[in-house]
């Protein structure tokens, strides 16, 4: 049985029966059958359906936002924004998919030679709880437009969101079984990947989970795209607008109550402005309201589960044991719910979890750097490579650092790292490989086929 618990109140929401092997096999066979029909539909038909999905998202925004907040604790204002973003990605790929996937003529010695992009089949998506609608729609929108079918293994605590997404696609006019949600535990994922009807797999999750998925997919020669963890560094240089930088950094650290792979985590400040930035940063962190995620003024809700809170607190306490200093927060509050307060750690050093691990919650690590070169060194001193940012009023300097110096897939100047349907999104090193979104994302799960006629 799969159980959903409200992380703000500890109350049980619903229990879902797990699907057995026979039911899963039947779903995958039907998905493959409907794929063979779907792949021959026009881009116009696919786009019409996807636009309707966007309309349904907007129409049901309040209901869907409430479900998201109750299931995983996201502040309600952020839940509404997430639904809006899902509708936008539907509109974007409905508008652009045909252009992205049109045949590309290549001049050779042939009478005609070109590249064509053909769908692969049924794609498995293994998705996390932290953005329970957005993560799924940024996979589904391009892949359904490309002519693929999709099956979703969602995080168990947001099973309700997963089933709602299936219903949205069905209501929008997509064929039954083209997009299905599987209700299974994580232990059942390997067998799904190996199933003959699954042609590729994508996962957003932890590095450990990504390695496991990649190993299984590799053993059966199936393509995988991995969007994994991050320990995102934000560099604050001596010429930065410190007031604005502190605002952006605090908001980035606390997005989704700190539970985002691209949320700012390590703040690397050059020594000339360290003290001033620390003061601004701590003041702004203290001003944020932690509480009921259904209230409009809440900035920080609970973590998604209590075990995640315990893991985060263990990382904080170990860092303190190794010499980090707690400036604010750092204590588990009494009462119901999986709450953890906005926390700032200073004197963070390389041997500490707060320096080298991903802290998935509202905990910020402040690190002093000697100068720009030292700040870049510290920023890149991580196994991760998902997001990074630099703050400076010298735009040429900032773009140079972002382009040439920072080892991450998404590098921003004077702004928090975020995903945008128009830009490719993904990481390097232990943050994974492959790209989602944009023209590059829609081409991840297609057969890039050469056609040559003499």
Q: For position 70, what pLDDT does the model report?
A: 98
Arch. (CATH architecture) of 2-228+428-453: 3-Layer(aba) Sandwich (3.40)
Tens digit of each residue's pLDDT (9 = 90 or more) over 226-278? 999 999 999 999 999 999 999 999 999 999 999 999 999 999 999 999 999 99
Q: Which two tokens stand for residue 278?
A: 């620390």
Q: Which CATH number fits domain 233-413: 1.10.10.10, 3.40.50.150, 3.40.47.10, 3.40.309.10?
A: 3.40.309.10
Distance separating alpha carbons of residues 304 and 158, to the nearest angstrom: 10
Strands (E), 208-355: 223-227, 233-236, 266-270, 325-328, 343-346
Q: For position 395, what pLDDT does the model report?
A: 98
Do the bridges between strand 198-204 and strand 223-227 make them parallel or antiparallel, or are there none, so unpaired?
A: parallel
pLDDT band for 195, please (50, 70, 90 cuts). very high
pLDDT band for 328, please (50, 70, 90 cuts). very high
* Domain boundaries of the chain, sorted by first residue: 2-228+428-453, 233-413
Tens digit of each residue's pLDDT (9 = 90 or more) over 347-365? 999 999 999 999 999 999 9
pLDDT band for 96, please (50, 70, 90 cuts). very high
Distance separating alpha carbons of residues 178 and 122, to the nearest angstrom: 8
Identical topology for domains 2-228+428-453 and 233-413: no
Tens digit of each residue's pLDDT (9 = 90 or more) over 133-161? 999 999 999 999 999 999 999 999 999 99
Active site residues: 227, 261
Farthest CA pair distance, the chain: 75
What is the average pLDDT across 391-409? 98
Q: For position 428, what pLDDT does the model report?
A: 98
Beta-bridge mates of residue 233? 266
Counted residue by residue, the chain has a size of 454
Tens digit of each residue's pLDDT (9 = 90 or more) over 417-449? 999 999 999 999 999 999 999 999 999 999 999
- Residue 251's nearest CA partner among 215, 216, 219, 285 is 285
Q: For position 12, what pLDDT does the model report?
A: 96
Do the bridges between strand 266-270 and strand 233-236 make them parallel or antiparallel, or are there none, so unpaired?
A: parallel
Q: For position 81, what pLDDT does the model report?
A: 98
């Amino acid at each position: 049985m799969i159980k959903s618990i409200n992380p703000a109140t500890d109350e049980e929401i619903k229990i879902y029966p797990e699907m057995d092997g026979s039911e899963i096999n039947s779903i995958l066979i039907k998905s493959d059958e409907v794929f063979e029909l779907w792949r021959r539909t026009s881009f116009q038909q696919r786009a019409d359906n996807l636009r309707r999905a966007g309309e349904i998202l907007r129409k049901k925004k309040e209901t869907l936002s409430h479900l998201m907040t109750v299931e995983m604790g996201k502040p309600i204002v952020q839940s509404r924004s997430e639904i809006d973003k899902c509708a936008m990605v539907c509109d974007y790929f409905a508008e652009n998919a045909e252009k992205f996937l049109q045949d590309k003529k290549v001049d050779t010695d042939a009478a005609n030679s070109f590249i064509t992009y053909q769908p692969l089949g049924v794609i498995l998506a293994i998705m996390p709880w932290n953005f329970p609608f957005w993560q799924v729609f940024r996979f589904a929108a391009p892949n359904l437009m490309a002519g693929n079918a999709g099956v979703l293994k969602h995080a168990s605590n947001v099973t309700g969101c997963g089933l709602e997404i299936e219903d949205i696609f069905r209501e929008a006019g997509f064929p039954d079984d083209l997009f299905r949600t599987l209700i299974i535990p994580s232990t059942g994922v390997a067998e799904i990947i190996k199933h003959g009807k699954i042609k590729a797999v994508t996962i957003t999750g932890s590095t450990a989970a990504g390695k496991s998925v990649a190993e299984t997919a590799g053993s059966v020669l199936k393509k995988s795209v991995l969007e994994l963890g991050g320990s995102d560094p934000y560099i604050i240089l001596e010429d930065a607008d410190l007031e604005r930088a502190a605002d952006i950094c605090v908001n980035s650290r606390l997005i989704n109550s700190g539970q985002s792979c691209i949320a700012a985590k390590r703040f690397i400040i050059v020594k000339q402005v360290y003290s001033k930035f620390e003061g601004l940063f701590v003041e702004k962190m203290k001003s944020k309201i932690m509480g009921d995620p259904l209230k409009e003024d809440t900035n920080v809700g609970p973590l998604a589960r209590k075990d995640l809170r315990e893991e985060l607190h263990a990382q904080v306490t170990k860092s303190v044991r190794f010499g980090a200093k707690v400036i604010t927060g750092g204590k588990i509050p009494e009462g119901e719910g999986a709450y953890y307060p906005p926390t700032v750690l200073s004197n963070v050093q390389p041997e500490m979890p707060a320096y080298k691990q991903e802290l998935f919650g509202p905990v910020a690590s402040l690190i002093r750097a000697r100068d720009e070169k030292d700040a870049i060194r510290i920023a890149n001193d991580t196994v991760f490579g998902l997001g990074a940012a630099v703050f400076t009023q010298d735009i040429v300097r900032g773009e140079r650092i972002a382009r040439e110096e920072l080892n991450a897939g998404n590098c921003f100047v004077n702004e928090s790292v975020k995903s945008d349907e128009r830009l490719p999104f993904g990481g390097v090193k232990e943050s994974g490989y492959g790209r989602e979104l944009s023209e590059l994302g829609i081409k991840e799960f297609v057969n890039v086929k050469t056609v040559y006629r003499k």
